[in-house]
Structure 1
Amino acid sequence: MSRTMRSFILILAITLVGFGWTAAGRAQSAADIAVKAAQKYSGTTLRVIWEAGLQAQDPLTFSGPEWKRLTGITLQVVETPFPEIFSKIVTAHLGGSRDFDVISYVPAWQADLVAAGALEPLDPFLDKYMPRGSLDDIHPTYRQWLNWKGKTYGIFDDGDVFVMYYRRDLFAEPANRAAFRAKYGQDLVPPRTWADWDKVCGFFTEKYKPTLYGCAIQRTEGQDYFWTEEAMRNNGVRFFDPQTMKAQINSPPAVRTLTEMVNANKSMPPGVEKWGFIEVFSAWMAGKVAMIVTWPPPGRWSEGYGNRVEQLKWLPETKVIGKVGYALPPGGHPELAAAFNLGVSVESANKEAAYLFIQWATSKETSLKRVMLPFALRDPYRLSHYASKEYRALWPHAPEYLDTLKSGAERGLLDLAIPGAREYEEALDRATVAVYAGTPPKEALDKAATEWDQVTQRIGVDKQRQAYQEWASKPNAYPH
């Protein structure tokens, strides 16, 4: 063999070995890469701000201990009630404190948190550690939440979406089907419009009250704006005039929407105006309502999934196992209400370690385990979650549940996410609560619209116009 040939073979072998190592490296999962890279930070403590209650049980009892076992890094969880998370993040940042390393935040707040300078851009870490294509498994709708003005600030971590749960047995009862058709001339099926919702709700209430009422939706302050935003957009409302940026939440369709929401309360249980998540959920579990619209967790709890774990011992015993149906709420375009991103605090002294925890926690393998925790409130958001054979086998109707969540993500409506989003939300929430307390809808919405215009003027009309037009151009901003 000639020297030239031997040299060629040697070079080829080195190249192939090098290629093999590269391919193997690329074949590593995002979780494996994060764990290996994070081990050099063993002994470090990361402070993470997380919603208090069941949400925090994930980092406290699962992902925190597992991350420490794998890397030697300790998670210190700062439990914070949901209404205080935004202000706590901003206050810590403005004070220059290092209160947090990892920030669990609502994507709709991202514009404000970026404008305040509170979030570290993640692109350098993604380029260094994230395998190409790993984020493609996140549902396309939810991937819209990762970026702001061309930079990545958070990795999506919670597939919140409103779902309509209904009693299969009541809808299938022959006597109910015959009576409903006789009264309305149409089939008794899960309602696809709010007008049909009122018919079905009123029908069941009239027949079964006070033992059972036709429907319930939470109406107490703090989160009412989610249902108002959803219903308004399904009725054709646009939040702003895209040219003048004048608020449109007091337009005739908006006033009609809130009027319809007030009228719907008449067929709900007495006192529903003060009902929150717990009251609605408890009534559903007890078999005292035929339909509800809320977040994904009740869909699995009411089928008995995980109800025996320590964290869920407080749950009322479910009386509707095997009777739960899943559908999109009336209008067909549910609110993608809240959700969470995981980001890195700009003040963190451990930014890379914080990012690596996020990459591991949101990875395909780890996130599936987390969304299957019965108590932690993180909901499916990856395409692989919806298709998971393990998840789909958890209870008989789990496949229908997951298919509904996926459909909701595809057709769902993004929360308003422009600078000032939290202030806009709070103003609309106050208006909705006021209407439930007796204020005329037009009066309440006129006040809220004035408050919206004041926020817009303070931030800057031109700035808000640009931000709103960019947000409104997203496929899930308005029904399509």
Structure 2
Amino acid sequence: MNKAKRLCAITCLAVVATWLTPVQAQPSAAQTAVEAAKQYSGSTINVVWPAGVGALGQKIFAAPLFEQLTGVKVNIVEAPPTDVYIKVVAEHRAGTGGFDVVSLVPSWLTDLSIAGIIEPLDALVDKYGFAAELQGIEPAYRNNWMTHGGKIMAIPDDGDVLLLFYRKDLFNDPANKEAFKAKYGYELAVPTTWEQFSDIGWFFTNTYQPDLYGASVIHRSGLMQYFFQERFRNAGGRFFDLDSMDAQINDEIGVKVATQLQDEAEFMPPGSENWNPVEVLTAWLSGRVAMITWWPPPGRWSEGYGTDNEALKWVPESQIKGKVGYALSPGGNPELALGWSLAVSSNSRNKELAYLYIQWVNSEEISLQRVQLPYSLRDPFRASHFESAEYRSRWENADEYLDVLRQGAQIGMLDLSIRNTFQYEEALARAMQRLMAGEDPQEVMNEAAENWDKVTRRTGVDKQRAAYEEWAAKPNAYPQ
């Protein structure tokens, strides 16, 4: 028996053992889902999932375990993360019923709901008693990622948030602290503004280059637009003028943020304006940069947690164990960037079974196991995840890591989610690429705004205004 199968078998026995414990008065959501799914034993459901490392959490752990418990086969259909939306929409239009469970980025929720691509879940949540456990999801995710038009359309599956990781040893070095204060007139500490981030980045680059540079961020792979969304709103920006629905990303605030992003590349490693996420991660783990802004995984990989697993052999060995601090992104409110949720395809021929899998995989007990899998790329999103004594003991300062993640979840901002969100994101991503190529920030943002206005007009100004008003009214849309 190979390692993955042994892990699944052991986990299966452990899960069943907990269910047989007599102290539990009522069946858990996981138990309920498993018992109900047994009537479908021998059936197969198809789950579309972003390809890559993150899919291993399904292929190695969740899908085999569900099959052992219920007799239901879970077929994971992988697609590149950037293609999942296109694949889901294409399948719906073709009407093949090829997907039962849909993975979606929460910013797509409006589009997929309006188009009828995903199924309302309220009746099934009530039928299988999942409502109580849903209350354990952190409010920012529960109140913003689940519903459209007052109906439950998706269940959160991943608590993404942008964080700042920094080298505590460099920040605490007495010589660095003295030299920084002498030059900038204030104490060297974790930056709370982007101006401080720039000062600190330049300081470390000027002090240590070429062995170490001040920072690095992800400039490619279409991800930089999330950093713009975060910084633009923290600086006071609004995406649209509500009366005209004209894009505002090219106003004074938008151009200032774009200029900052472009200028910061100057103190980053040479060539890093073209780096993809793995290259940024490699520079960080090898000790070549003092700060990065990223999604949560580098926090655990920096300490070597799980990187001995065969699935993570591509992650470089950490040279910075015990030297890493965690903080919210400068600016105040971090972006709840990307993230993933699960929904039932309206074309599915196995809707109830598809829902039962979603309930099981995101129940209190199963989701807690999943977010601790080193290779799952699923981050905490429930109170029980952040408070877990087991998780908080995984490495020496795991408690600090989870506390910062939870703080980010509580005050984080949502990605823009309106009609045709994908088209707005693509236009902004193209603008960020031009920005990193050295083009004029004002011209870049002007063209991006023009492209946004074209999408708005194609969509219909009044329809888009209604969608934007609904989104902007959410407590996590803009800083409070």
Using the size of structure 2 for normalisation, the TM-score is: 0.94
Task: Kindly report which structure 2 residues correspond to 1:91-240, keeping only aligned pairs within 5 A, or say none.
Answer: 91-143=90-142, 144-240=144-240
Asked if the contact 1:215–1:289 (Cα under 8 Å) also holds between the matched residues in 2, the reply is yes
Asked if the contact 1:305–1:374 (Cα under 8 Å) also holds between the matched residues in 2, the reply is yes
Task: Please name the residue that 1:47 is paired with.
Answer: 46
1:216 is displaced (CA, Å) by 0.3
1:52 is displaced (CA, Å) by 0.5
Separation in 2 of the partners of 1:200 and 1:56?
37
Separation in 1 of the partners of 2:417 and 2:89?
17
- Determine if the alignment matches structure 1 residue 277 to structure 2 residue 277: yes
Separation in 1 of the partners of 2:221 and 2:314?
23
Asked if the contact 2:44–2:75 (Cα under 8 Å) also holds between the matched residues in 1, the reply is yes
Task: Kindly report which structure 2 residues correspond to 1:58-457, keeping only aligned pairs within 5 A, or say none.
Answer: 58-143=57-142, 144-457=144-457
Separation in 2 of the partners of 1:119 and 1:39?
24
Separation in 1 of the partners of 2:27 and 2:249?
49
1:132 is displaced (CA, Å) by 3.8
Asked if the contact 2:125–2:131 (Cα under 8 Å) also holds between the matched residues in 1, the reply is no
Instruction: Quote the RMSD (CA, aligned, Å).
Output: 1.1
Q: Which runs of 5+ in 2 are unaligned?
A: 1-22
1:54 is displaced (CA, Å) by 0.8
Separation in 1 of the partners of 2:396 and 2:221?
35
1:131 is displaced (CA, Å) by 3.8
Asked if the contact 2:40–2:353 (Cα under 8 Å) also holds between the matched residues in 1, the reply is yes
Separation in 2 of the partners of 1:185 and 1:25?
60
Separation in 2 of the partners of 1:469 and 1:400?
37
For residues 230-260 of structure 1, what are the alpha-carbon distances to aligned partners after superposition, in whole Å with 9 as ceiling and x for unaligned?
1111111100011211100111110011001
Asked if the contact 1:142–1:381 (Cα under 8 Å) also holds between the matched residues in 2, the reply is yes
For residues 44-102 of structure 1, what are the alpha-carbon distances to aligned partners after superposition, in whole Å with 9 as ceiling and x for unaligned?
11110001011100110000010001100111111110110000000000000121111
Amino acid at match of 1:124: A
Separation in 2 of the partners of 1:389 and 1:278?
30
Asked if the contact 2:286–2:319 (Cα under 8 Å) also holds between the matched residues in 1, the reply is yes
1:130 is displaced (CA, Å) by 2.5
Amino acid at match of 1:29: S
SS at match of 2:135: helix
Separation in 2 of the partners of 1:119 and 1:48?
13
Asked if the contact 2:138–2:381 (Cα under 8 Å) also holds between the matched residues in 1, the reply is yes
Separation in 2 of the partners of 1:98 and 1:356?
18
1:26 is displaced (CA, Å) by 7.5
Separation in 1 of the partners of 2:197 and 2:159?
25
1:25 is displaced (CA, Å) by 9.8
Q: Which runs of 5+ in 1 are unaligned?
A: 1-23
For residues 193-251 of structure 1, what are the alpha-carbon distances to aligned partners after superposition, in whole Å with 9 as ceiling and x for unaligned?
00000010100000100100010001114111101111111111100011211100111
Separation in 2 of the partners of 1:64 and 1:362?
13
Asked if the contact 1:221–1:430 (Cα under 8 Å) also holds between the matched residues in 2, the reply is no
Separation in 2 of the partners of 1:98 and 1:283?
43
Asked if the contact 1:120–1:344 (Cα under 8 Å) also holds between the matched residues in 2, the reply is yes
Amino acid at match of 1:319: Q
Would you say how many aligned residue pairs link Structure 1 and Structure 2?
457
Amino acid at match of 1:28: P
For residues 409-441 of structure 1, what are the alpha-carbon distances to aligned partners after superposition, in whole Å with 9 as ceiling and x for unaligned?
111110001111111111111111111112211
Separation in 1 of the partners of 2:29 and 2:224?
38
Amino acid at match of 2:62: S
Please identify the structure whose Cα radius of gyration is greater. Answer: 1
For residues 107-142 of structure 1, what are the alpha-carbon distances to aligned partners after superposition, in whole Å with 9 as ceiling and x for unaligned?
100111112211011111111002442111000000
SS at match of 2:78: strand
Separation in 2 of the partners of 1:356 and 1:131?
10
Using the size of structure 1 for normalisation, the TM-score is: 0.94
SS at match of 2:205: helix
SS at match of 1:241: coil
Task: Please name the residue that 2:17 is paired with.
Answer: none
**CA 1:129/1:323 → structure 2, altered by over 3 Å: closer, same or farther?**
same
Amino acid at match of 2:296: P
Separation in 1 of the partners of 2:206 and 2:257?
24
Separation in 1 of the partners of 2:313 and 2:50?
20
Identity value in percent? 50
Asked if the contact 1:205–1:212 (Cα under 8 Å) also holds between the matched residues in 2, the reply is yes
For residues 287-342 of structure 1, what are the alpha-carbon distances to aligned partners after superposition, in whole Å with 9 as ceiling and x for unaligned?
01000000001110111100111101121110010011000011021111110110
SS at match of 1:164: strand
Separation in 1 of the partners of 2:467 and 2:347?
26
SS at match of 1:406: helix
Amino acid at match of 1:402: L
Amino acid at match of 2:84: I
1:473 is displaced (CA, Å) by 1.1
**CA 1:389/1:97 → structure 2, altered by over 3 Å: closer, same or farther?**
same
Amino acid at match of 1:126: V
Amino acid at match of 1:300: R
Separation in 1 of the partners of 2:134 and 2:251?
39
Task: Please name the residue that 1:6 is paired with.
Answer: none
Asked if the contact 2:33–2:128 (Cα under 8 Å) also holds between the matched residues in 1, the reply is yes
Separation in 1 of the partners of 2:425 and 2:25?
43
Asked if the contact 1:102–1:342 (Cα under 8 Å) also holds between the matched residues in 2, the reply is yes
Amino acid at match of 2:220: T
1:151 is displaced (CA, Å) by 1.0
Separation in 2 of the partners of 1:440 and 1:84?
30
Separation in 1 of the partners of 2:301 and 2:274?
23
Asked if the contact 2:393–2:399 (Cα under 8 Å) also holds between the matched residues in 1, the reply is yes
